[in-house]
Each structure stands twice: as structure tokens, then as C-alpha cells.
Chain A
Amino acid sequence: MTDIDTYKFSNGLKLVLENLPKSKSAGVAVGFPVGGRTEQPEVSGISHYLEHMIFKGTKAINNVEAAFRELGAKNNAMTEVDATVYVAECPKKYAFKTLELWLQLLSEASIGAEEFERERGVILSEYFITEDNPDFLVEKNATLTLFKGHPLSSTVIGSDETIKAISHSKMLEYFRSWYNPSNAVIWVSGDLSMDGLIDRVNAHDEWTRHVKGQIFSHKPFSPEGPSATEIHRQIKLAQVSMAMSGPTGSADERASLQILGSMLSSGQSSVLRQRLILEAELTDKLRSIVSIYREAGMLFTTFAIQPNRVPKVLAILTKTIHEMRENTSRFKEGFENARNHAIGLLSTGIDSTMMWRILQGTWETLRRGRCSWDQLISSPETLGFEEFKDNVANITRPERIALILAGDIKEGATKTVQW
């Protein structure tokens, strides 16, 4: 098991060390509360574009990938609706140097005009991937549809038009005003000392000085659904997705959303899976994701099916949600299993890769101010069925549900659904 220690610099920058005794590898992440929600609609995708530009280097570092390779480090970054996080996994002996590399890249990025233009092609290529793959297509539309009217409503990658509309000057302005060390989180996992890390950060003045930049304010989420999106495409299979929003203020609420995910769709014995297989001859796996943002969480489920079975599938979805809301006690028998499954997902998720581990830790710290794996895992363990039942009645309310359909489906197919 691991200890998590936090140090706060006087400008607000947080440094978190997750101690992994005897680990030979380390992970270093730096995150900012910047993402889809901090963008103006006409430049939707700018946070993700900026994430790409950071990898173009600084005046001193012109080949970023080679710099990481020299440290035996593998890097990546992820832009989300509410956070952008840069991650790297490396041998323990290079953890400090990897941290310094991120600090330099993130404060001194040159973002040259020529490279900025060239990168637009790369971003568009990534955007096309999300358009060509039905699974990605519905996923990027899920937050957009579910959180309609709230800043969390964003595709993150933007659209063809908005990507083309982002100017170099706008990018520079966005970088300067949003990448503010005072709001950032540095997360390190490994067998390392906190003092050593603090010294390294202190050596970079630009990271410890007070900077006045932009920060988004949290806004309560009031669900306004049910909402739906139809994407008509000439493809053989239809991609059906359902997203539900749930409150995430308390540990119990979060645990409820996670257990509901297991009970409804991600567990092998989940209710929806069983019913879709039995009644709609579903043959695809159900892909299910639980995202926990500060103001709300999202339970997203998707699968592919033959287009002629879509009406039947929609009937099963509505019937199941209705039963879950009105008669949760019916599902008491499966509660224990769903709880175990949710705990399994949480604990294997933390260990799944070093990058995923530090990414989750940074997200959690950016969103809640702190992160405790023990607490995350113990919340489902201690949640009683009665609390779960109450929370489920709330999460399954019609206004909390969004439906996203893609494929060769009937025009207006979502309009027939009565949650």
C-alpha cells in the first residue's frame, strides 16, 4: 500500500508524492485546471491544441521526444473537459530530471507560428479518427449532450471549423493566461523523497512565484435533460450510447455512481448486459466508463448493434432505468457483486499502468484538492444498500439521462424514448 504526501508552495502550487517503496520506476505528472470548459465556443479545441504545442519544445529544447528518450521516459498528455495533464513514466533514477523537463517545457514553451500551423494538420487528423470510429464518435458527444447548458458540455477536441479558426495569437494568449503555476498540481509516484522534489521545483522560479492568471469557477450542475443526439452515418452497425449524470459531492454519491456502473453495465453479470443479450440478441461487449468531475459524474455506456434492433434496445434501456428508479430494492441481490466488481475496477485501475496511476492522481487532486486511494476504494466498501438506493433514484431521473445514437438509424429515433 502507498502513502500520499502533499506540499503546498506559497503561490498555491501543489506537489504530491505517492511513495512506492522499492519501486524501480517513477511517474511524474503536471496538471492544470484547463480544458474544454475553459474555452470560448468559437475556439473549441484550443486546450487540446495547446497540449500538442507544448511538445514542440522551448528555445533550449528543440527535440522533446529525444529529451524524454534520453531519460528512458515515455510521455503522454491528456486533455479533458476540466483538466490538462502531462504524464511521463521513467526509471526512478531519472525522476527528478523528468520533472525538470516538464517544468521547463510547460513554462518556456515557444509555440512558434510555423510549427503551430503545421500542427493543425495533426490535430485535424486526430479529429478525423474520432469521426471515423463510431465508438469515439459517440464518446466525444456524450459530455456535450449530457451536460448541455453547463461548462462541462464540450467535445474537448473541437470541430473541423473551430480547429481551423484558432489563431496563433489566440493560442499564445490562452497559454499565458491559463497555464498558471498557482493552480497547477505536480504529482510524483515512486520511491523518492519529498525534500528532493521540493528543491527541484524551487530551482525553477517561474513555478513558485505568484502569478495572476485565469481560473474557472465551479458552477453547480442542474440537469436539464433528457437530452439526445443522433448522428446519421452510412455504416453497417449502429452505435448506441446512454450517459447519466450523478452528483459527486460526497464519497457516498461517488461510490453509488461507481457501483451503479458495475450493476448496470460494466459487470459481467450486470442487469443491462443480461437483458440486452437475452431480449435484443446483443452480441457486442458493453463498454462502460465512470468519469468523476467536481460538479457531477458521468456514467457512460456504449455498444454496437444491428440497426434494426435499435428500437428493441431503446425499449430495454428505458424499462431498466425505470425499474432501477422505481424499484431499486429488486436489485438488492446483485448489490454485493456489483460492489465487489466496482472495488476490483478501482484497485486494478490504479495499478493498470504508471501513466494511468499518475493521471488519475492528478485529476483527483485538481478536482478535489487531495487524493487518497484508500478512501476511494473504501467508499464502495462502506456504502450501505439504503444509501445506494436513494442515490440511484436520483441518478436515474429522466432529466439526468442522455442518449447518443450513431449509424444508419431512423431519423428521430431518439424522440420516441420516454425515460
Chain B
Amino acid sequence: MSFIELFEAREDVGKLLESRATRNRSLVLTFPLLVKEISRGVKAVALSRKFLRSASVVLLVGRGSYRDPIEGCACLDSRMRLRVTSRFSPLRLQVAMDRIGATIEAVTDRDCMFLRAQVPSKKVEECLKLLAELYMFPSFPEPDVDRERGSEKLEYERIRQDPMTASMTDVWEATFPQNPLGHPVTGYPSTIEKITPKTLDEFDEKVREDAPLVVAVVGPQEENMIIEFADSCFEKVKVKPRVEKINPRPRRDFNILRSALRAKQTTFTVGTVTSGASSSDYPALLLLEDYLGSERHYAGTLFRELREKRGLTYFAGSRLFALRDCGLLTAYTGVKHEKVSEALRLMLQCMTELRDKNIPEKMMEELKIFHRQVVEVMLEVPFRAATWLATNMFRGAEVDLESYISKIQTVTPENIRRVAEGSLTASCMALSASGNPPDEKTLAKIMRGEMG
């Protein structure tokens, strides 16, 4: 059973799981991890790793920039949670974090917000209490909001002045134009300026009302003990989880977004619309990402073709951003301005190959084994493991390693080809380039020439 179904609005599934949860209270999975529904709409997942000195606590709040009433609102909301609460002044909050030796960050994604902490293992309970404080007692006083507006605008500028971050941000806008998925998570300086304490209050009201909450903890303590801590901190939180379908809205043709920047090289990113993490295509997409060159390794096709064989670049790879209902598959690189056309052609050729022919069986098997091993290793790293568990649970992917791997095992070369055929089309694909790239016409010509 996929645990995202715990958040499903569908009544039958809700009832089935409710009865299961009532019977067991907590669910022990085949992989040594414990999942519990603390209260309505609030789930906790704990994984114990005895040899760790530290722990990681991740709070995932199921509302992100896709639901921004004004672009940048979710991002500002998560920043504010880390700044001040209705009971803790900024300084008191900062001292509280330092006292327990915690490093806490607020991160906003398209469909959710994270409060993520790394903390010495002895302080897990205090850290959970602190994160509960941030979640339950947000406060939006104007002077603090104003300060964080400044931070967000500066973050925007930082992204814009580096071709790598600019291109990787722009690819969302290029792939999802006129869609709330597309705008930068930070918003734009002009929209950030418009976000008021009232906007944030209303946004927060929605969060309390219907945004699912996942608490994931990975540390050396027993799973039961961790879940008990989480239970005591979040039992009073009750939401009516409502997960609206995210609509990628198909386009008619390739979309190109080009930004000029004084830089030594140009970074470009090809983006394409895919299915999401709750889809049956998700395992095939993960292997497709690995084949092209995910962050999990350096043995991908893009890395080999662009860097190893031709020495065109330092970095070339692929990254899949799978939300629940749809996703964005990216392929990126940074090269000398005059090499953009050559590198783009090569990149697109690597991608069309996936559409035009099956991955060899032997390679397929290697990818599957590799994927399993990498995930197993990743699950021993508290910060990564907690983030993976929380996002998979929220987005409808498996959290139980065995179930997750069994789905990866069923992927065939035909599945990958079918997924590639569905995504590598003019209506799904887009390009963002930042630095000093060729003009739009030239880039469009290359896209059409290679992709057909």
C-alpha cells in the first residue's frame, strides 16, 4: 500500500487505511521503519540508525509555491516560520536553536514547504518541540516580514547573477509558462513587495486547514521512542488534508527562455513535462534519469558524451523533480558561449536515443542494481533519509524500501521508451539558457532539428 493514499481524498481508501491504522496504531514495514498517523492529516515516520551521532528531523507541510496567492508567498511564509513565532521573539528563537546545536533551514518547493533540522542525537526531543513551535505558532509582524522580504529579494538577485542557478530556475518558467508551477519559488522582487502580513495570515490559515503534515525523523533512537516524541509534539494538530491535482497545462510548441548575463560561460537546461511520483511511470522515470545522469552518479550518458568524450564541460547531468501529479525532467550543462549549439545538439541526441530505441537489457539490469544500492546507502544518512521519507510519503511514492525496489524491478526497456516518447515532444519540452547563448531562432532551430 502506498502511503500517499493516507492523504487521498477518496473515501474508500481513507476508510480502509483508517481501519488499518486503528487496528495497528502504528505500521511496521518490511524495512525497519515505523509509520504512524498521529492525528488527522498528520503522519510521522521514523527510521532508526544505531551508529549515528546525530539525527535529522524533517517537517513537510503540504502547500508550496504552486498555491501562492502572490508569487513568493509560500517561500516568505516558510522563512517567517524560522524567524519568529507568536511566543518566541527572533532572538529567543535563534538562541533556542543554538542551545540545542541545531542547524535548521526552511526550504520551499512547488508543492510543499520543509523545515529541516540536523541536531546532535541527544537533542532530538527538544528539536521536535522547537519545530512544532515553528509550525504551530507562526507570526507575521510587519517589521519582520519586511526584513524577510529583503532576504527573499536578495535571494532572487543571487540566483539571477549566476548563470547556473539562473538557468535552472528559468527552466521551470520555460516549461510551465503562464502556470503557477513556473514562477520562481522566491517570487519576483515586484511580487515579493506586495506580500503583506495579511497575505501571510490567510496563507497560513489555509495551511492549518488542509495542508497535510509529515514528520520524518532519522536518528539512533528506537523508532518507537521517536514516534512517541513526535506524537506528543503534534497530537493537537488536526487538518483536513486536501491534495489538489497539479495541472501542468500542455503547450503547443517548444518554449525557449534566454537570459543575457555577463559570465564566462553559458549554462542551459532542457526541461520536459513528465508524470509525477504517484504515477505508475515514476519508477521508469527514475531509471531514465539515472541513464541520462542523475545526481546519484557520474556514469550517465550526458556526462560521458559531453564531458568525458569531448571535454566540453565540467558538469552535465539530469535531474527529475517529481511532484505528486506531474514532474519536470531536466538535462543541464554549462559550456563556453561558442560551444552552446554543439553541446545542445549532443544533449538532445542523447535524449532522442531514449525515445527511438530501447536501452540494452544489460544496461537496464545494471541501472536497477545501482539504483537499489544507492538508495540503501542514502537511507543511512539522516538528513537525506528523512527528506526522502517525508517527500515520498507526501507525493505518493513508496517509503518502504522493499516495495520501492520491487517497483523499480518491474521496469522494462519498453517502459522507459514509452515514457520518453510521451515526454520528449514539442508540447512538453522547453529550454532555458543563461549567459551569452545564441539567439532564440537558432536555439529553436536546433531543438526542432534534433527532436523532430
A contact residues vs B (CB 8 Å cutoff) = 1-2, 20-25, 63, 65-66, 68-70, 72-75, 89-91, 94, 117-123, 125-126, 128-129, 131-134, 234-237, 262, 267-269, 274, 277, 281, 283-285, 304-305, 336-338, 340-345, 347-348, 350-354, 373, 377
The docked-state distance in angstroms from the alpha carbon of A72 to that of B374 is: 6
Q: Does A281 contact B381, Cβ atoms closer than 8 Å?
A: no
The docked-state distance in angstroms from the alpha carbon of A20 to that of B102 is: 24
Interface 1/0 per residue, B259-277 and A, CB below 8 Å: 0001111000000000000
A69-B297, A128-B265 known; A21-B99 Cβ under 8 A: no
A236-B157, A348-B120 known; A75-B150 Cβ under 8 A: no
> 8 Å CB contacts to A: which residues of B153-191?
153-155, 157-158, 160-164
**Shortest distance between the CB of A117 and any CB in chain B (Å):** 8
Q: Does B264 contact A351, Cβ atoms closer than 8 Å?
A: no
Of B298, B314, B315, the residue contacting A65 (CB under 8 A) is B298
The docked-state distance in angstroms from the alpha carbon of A132 to that of B120 is: 36
Which residue of chain A is the closest to B381 with respect to CB atoms? A353
The 3 A-B residue pairs with the shortest CB-CB distance in the complex, in nearest-first order: A344-B101, A72-B373, A65-B299
Q: Does A65 contact B376, Cβ atoms closer than 8 Å?
A: no
Residues of chain A within 8 A of B121, CB atoms compared: 347
Q: Does A281 contact B94, Cβ atoms closer than 8 Å?
A: no
B contact residues vs A (CB 8 Å cutoff) = 49-54, 91, 93-95, 97-104, 118-121, 123, 147-148, 150-151, 153-155, 157-158, 160-164, 262-265, 296-299, 303-304, 307-308, 310-315, 334-336, 366, 369-370, 372-374, 376-377, 380-384
Known: A22-B51, A23-B51, A268-B98. 16 other contacts (CB 8 A): A2-B51, A25-B377, A66-B299, A72-B377, A74-B377, A118-B310, A125-B335, A133-B162, A235-B262, A237-B161, A283-B153, A344-B102, A347-B53, A347-B121, A350-B53, A377-B53
Which residue of chain A is the closest to B52 with respect to CB atoms? A351
The docked-state distance in angstroms from the alpha carbon of A350 to that of B303 is: 29
Residues of chain B within 8 A of A338, CB atoms compared: 98
Q: Does A344 contact B103, Cβ atoms closer than 8 Å?
A: yes
Of B164, B307, B335, B381, the residue contacting A133 (CB under 8 A) is B164
Q: Does B101 contact A343, Cβ atoms closer than 8 Å?
A: yes
**Shortest distance between the CB of A127 and any CB in chain B (Å):** 8
Q: Does B51 contact A122, Cβ atoms closer than 8 Å?
A: no
Q: Does A236 contact B161, Cβ atoms closer than 8 Å?
A: yes
Of A122, A281, A337, the residue contacting B311 (CB under 8 A) is A122
Q: Does B101 contact A345, Cβ atoms closer than 8 Å?
A: yes
Q: Does B382 contact A122, Cβ atoms closer than 8 Å?
A: no
A120-B311, A237-B158, A304-B158 known; A24-B163 Cβ under 8 A: no
- Residue pairs across A and B with Cβ atoms less than 8 A apart, 9 shown, are A23-B49, A121-B310, A125-B314, A236-B157, A268-B94, A343-B120, A347-B53, A352-B118, A353-B381
Which residue of chain A is the closest to B53 with respect to CB atoms? A347
Residues of chain B within 8 A of A284, CB atoms compared: 151, 154-155, 158
A69-B299, A125-B314, A352-B118 known; A236-B265 Cβ under 8 A: no
Q: Does B51 contact A20, Cβ atoms closer than 8 Å?
A: yes
Q: Does B97 contact A268, Cβ atoms closer than 8 Å?
A: yes
Secondary structure call for the A interface: helix
Residues of chain B within 8 A of A20, CB atoms compared: 51
Residues of chain B within 8 A of A122, CB atoms compared: 307, 311-314
**Shortest distance between the CB of B310 and any CB in chain A (Å):** 7
Residues of chain B within 8 A of A90, CB atoms compared: 373, 377
Which residue of chain B is the closest to A344 with respect to CB atoms? B101
Residues of chain B within 8 A of A132, CB atoms compared: 162-164, 263-265
Residues of chain A within 8 A of B376, CB atoms compared: 24-25, 91
The docked-state distance in angstroms from the alpha carbon of A123 to that of B49 is: 39
A237-B154, A350-B53 known; A269-B164 Cβ under 8 A: no
Which residue of chain B is the closest to A76 with respect to CB atoms? B298
Q: Does B265 contact A341, Cβ atoms closer than 8 Å?
A: no
Q: Does A283 contact B147, Cβ atoms closer than 8 Å?
A: yes
A236-B157, A283-B147 known; A344-B377 Cβ under 8 A: no
The docked-state distance in angstroms from the alpha carbon of A90 to that of B372 is: 11
Which residue of chain B is the closest to A189 with respect to CB atoms? B51
The docked-state distance in angstroms from the alpha carbon of A65 to that of B383 is: 26
Residues of chain B within 8 A of A2, CB atoms compared: 51
**Shortest distance between the CB of B306 and any CB in chain A (Å):** 10
Residues of chain B within 8 A of A342, CB atoms compared: 101
**Shortest distance between the CB of B307 and any CB in chain A (Å):** 6
Of B98, B148, B158, the residue contacting A337 (CB under 8 A) is B98
**Shortest distance between the CB of A98 and any CB in chain B (Å):** 11
A68-B299, A351-B54 known; A337-B381 Cβ under 8 A: no
Q: Does B299 contact A129, Cβ atoms closer than 8 Å?
A: no
The docked-state distance in angstroms from the alpha carbon of A20 to that of B94 is: 33
The docked-state distance in angstroms from the alpha carbon of A140 to that of B24 is: 55
Q: Does B369 contact A354, Cβ atoms closer than 8 Å?
A: no
